[in-house]
Amino acid sequence: MTVNFLPVEDLINKLENNDLTIHEIIKIFYNKIYEKNDEINAIISKLRYNDLDTQLNLSEKRRKKNKRLSPLDGLPIAVKDLEETQGILTTSGSKIFQNNIPKIDSPMVQNLKKSGCIIIGKTNVPEFGVGSQTYNMIFGSTRNPFDTKLTSGGSSGGAAAAVSAGMIPFADGSDMMGSLRNPASFCSVFGYRPTPGLIPSKVTSKIFPKLSTLGPIGKTTKCLAYLLDAQVGNFFIKKNKNNLFSEVIDNFPKKQIKIAWLGDFSGTYLYENEIKDLCEIFLKNLENHQFKIEDLSPKFNSQIIWESWINLRSLSLKNDFYEIFRDKNKVDFLKPEIMWEIERALSLSNLNYEEAIYKRTEWKKYTDLLFESFDFLALPSTQVFPFLAQLKYPSEINGKKLDTYHRWMEVVVPASLIGLPTISIPCGFSTKGLPIGIQLIGKYGCDKDVLCTSNLIEKRKIKLKNNKFS
């Protein structure tokens, strides 16, 4: 395996064993960017290699003196273009901000820098991160490394594609409605939506429930744990190693793990052919003395979840973009999907909001009951395979028309609505060679459990693969 595709934990070991220097690692990834990025268009606002000399030299000195800021000190990362980066163009994929160079870093970026990560550029996003298709009027489309005619998903499509193609070892992303899980699934990498509030971010509203969260993307679960520690600030805030996700990631559960497979949610979720079958085969292969999988048809109306979600989402997006909407000099730059969300929100009453909160609470109560019998819930990460990059979004699934621009991502809503920590795990490929992921959904606040179990699943997959060919 070439250095570009090594998991982060292996890169860390090579630095510790003096097999590679920080300069060598950065150069290897830069060469891959030069080789692949024109084709994939994942990394934008790139910094020149020579501009990083001071940072690299300082990082190398710390390494030689055994005074690294964290295990990630000296490793490259490209930051999602929704996050402010001091002195680096940050557009949010919008022409409104096409010349925006922030004077400060976002809280999460500050944590990355304090952990010693080397920021080499930004990753592409859809306008303001809205829509699970990474396209904007400034930088164009990000393509899928498995088939460049197809999308990498979104909104963290640039991040997932860059990691999948070996251009960076890991990447940050964010997730409201599957913006981490969807591109992770489309690009066959791991993507983690942690419990909201775990990673610091700018607060945009004190009124509406927090629907989105920042999170990591990587080649392995352990990679996610390392980056999550950096995003949270664990490396320099918490001295107790037991508080580090990267230190406890191998503390595998010793008890039987019960997973409820929600499938098509009692016949209400549409999937393209092969998706549900691939996920079920994946789960079946997990079953042994430690994993127990149970098919479950939820006794809860999925339309209630959806109605709560779309109302809260519309209200939240209106709150974020209303000033732009009211500005006659800027409003024409907003994409139709954002306009639709704002106009929809303006039509909602206080009663609509209260009903949405009530439905949200009812779904939480039901999941609390499920978690009394199960450790995790499981669903596919997406309802469709990667689609053509010039297509804005799927309008139908298996010939059935969809009623909104985002209904094809309904499968991520059960976790998003109530802020459950969720990881997308690569689980297979279609007969056409297109990747798909599966969601493992944990209890609120139980991020360590989700990551440790995903790591255990990874180890079991490797064991099964090795046995198959032994």
Per-residue pLDDT of the chain (470 residues; tens, 9 = 90+): 799 999 999 999 999 999 999 999 999 999 999 999 999 999 999 999 999 999 999 999 999 999 999 999 999 999 999 999 999 999 999 999 999 999 999 999 999 999 999 999 999 999 999 988 999 999 999 999 999 999 999 999 999 999 999 999 999 999 999 999 999 999 999 999 999 999 998 765 555 557 999 999 999 999 999 999 999 999 988 666 678 999 999 998 888 999 999 999 999 999 999 999 999 999 999 998 799 999 999 999 999 999 999 999 999 999 999 999 999 999 999 999 999 999 999 999 999 999 999 999 999 999 999 999 999 999 999 999 999 999 999 999 999 999 999 999 999 999 999 999 999 999 999 999 999 999 999 999 999 999 999 999 999 876 656 544 32
Rounded-to-integer distance, Cα 151 and Cα 135, Å: 9
Query: What whole-number distance in Å separates Cα of residue 363 and Cα of residue 414?
Result: 8
Please list the alpha-helical segments (H only) found in 2-102: 8-16, 22-40, 53-64
Q: Where are the domains of the chain?
A: 3-250+377-469
Determine whether domain 3-250+377-469 maps to CATH 3.40.50.720: no
Handedness of CA 384, 420, 319, 95 (dihedral sign): negative
Cα–Cα distance measured from residue 192 to residue 178, given in angstroms and rounded to the nearest whole number: 10
Kindly tell me the sign of the dihedral angle through the C-alpha atoms of 386, 387, 389, 394: negative
In sequence order, the β-bridge partners of residue 257 are 291
The residue ranges of DSSP E strands in 127-179, in sequence order, are: 135-136, 140-141, 143-144, 147-151, 170-175
- Bridge partners (DSSP) of residue 338 are none
The model scores a pTM over 0.75: yes
- Beta-carbon contacts of residue 338 (< 8 Å; ≥ 6 apart): 127, 128, 130, 317, 321
